[in-house]
Structure 1
């Protein structure tokens, strides 16, 4: 463990600056990829991980979902991801009913495939339908269990910080031959 600190002291300033710049380049690249996905999909959160079993047996906890938010109309049977006021975690459920108002506003009712009843009890107080502003996106594809690592990091927050520390130290201390 203390060999790491000895290695840092032995680095010259140029090597250390190079390692710091490489680390910053990795972070900036990840941010650019994320922002590019936002632009391509028209979605603020183009990739989400399923955190519950409410959509089983089609979508399982830990599946990685890819979303889009184009202006094509949502249809009954589409799987959507939406936010509810006063709740931090988005919900992944299927549209079971669509209601078009006289003014052309489209309202949606959702339900998890593994749930017995519709989602009205999950919506904000006094809200009976979802609107376009509640939607994050529509599920276009998913990879089974590809997000299980994210769930593990959320279940064990100290592991998340430890992993970030290890990644940061590794990228800063790795010597290029």
Structure 2
């Protein structure tokens, strides 16, 4: 296998090699363009996330891919949102269980929302709401600025590939290396 691979590299001239590098750059740029287009279309910085824990079972399982969007519609009890806390790298996927308006209770019942609406979340599989151990110390309610997006659709278990590559970094390097070799040695 490696001898035939080395023979393919020996047969490359500079022009072919440069062509393969341009092809690799094209693939990477295409992926970036698709990601940015999805971000613009969904109004969401991260339009796709992978579920990393079992806190939302049975609604979502570890490894499920979630597709998000961020609209200006009011948040409702029962919505499944992805939120990000200051100082924490990984966003969290949980269900809205309570809403609180610090100034005007009537807005919540009329379907309107303003900047005073506070949000409380909980994982379906968790015994307590997120104030106990998930929110930053002193944070009792989320505000709209914490919300990254709302779950719109799901692709079950496909995200396990991402989880495996993060749990075992050597697998990530092997997969990336093999993909680069495939692009560079493709003569079409």
- 1:64-116 C-alpha deviation (Å, 9 max, x unpaired): 10000111111000000111222211111000001112174111000000011
Q: Which runs of 4+ in 1 moved over 6 A?
A: none
Partner SS for 2:25: helix
Partner SS for 1:8: helix
**Structure 2: distance between partners of 1:170 and 1:132:** 44
Task: Confirm or deny: 8 A CA contact 1:62 1:147 kept in the other structure.
Answer: yes
Question: Which stretch shows the higher mean deviation, 35-44 or 159-168?
Answer: 159-168
- 5+ residue gaps, structure 1, are none
Correspondence 1:118 to 2:118: no
**Structure 2: distance between partners of 1:163 and 1:50:** 21
Which TM-score applies when normalising by structure 1?
Answer: 0.95
Aligned length, in residue pairs: 176
Question: Which stretch shows the higher mean deviation, 60-69 or 99-108?
Answer: 99-108
Which TM-score applies when normalising by structure 2?
Answer: 0.90
- 1:9-54 C-alpha deviation (Å, 9 max, x unpaired): 2212221111111111100000000000000000000000000000
Correspondence 1:153 to 2:157: no
Within 5 Å, give how 1:58-73 maps onto structure 2: 58-73=59-74
2:183 corresponding residue in structure 1: 171
Shift of 1:2: 4.1
Partner SS for 2:16: helix
**Structure 2: distance between partners of 1:15 and 1:86:** 46
2:117 corresponding residue in structure 1: 106
**Structure 2: distance between partners of 1:13 and 1:115:** 58
- 5+ residue gaps, structure 2, are 105-113
- Aligned CA RMSD, in angstroms, stands at 1.2
Task: Confirm or deny: 8 A CA contact 1:48 1:65 kept in the other structure.
Answer: yes
1:57 corresponding residue in structure 2: 58
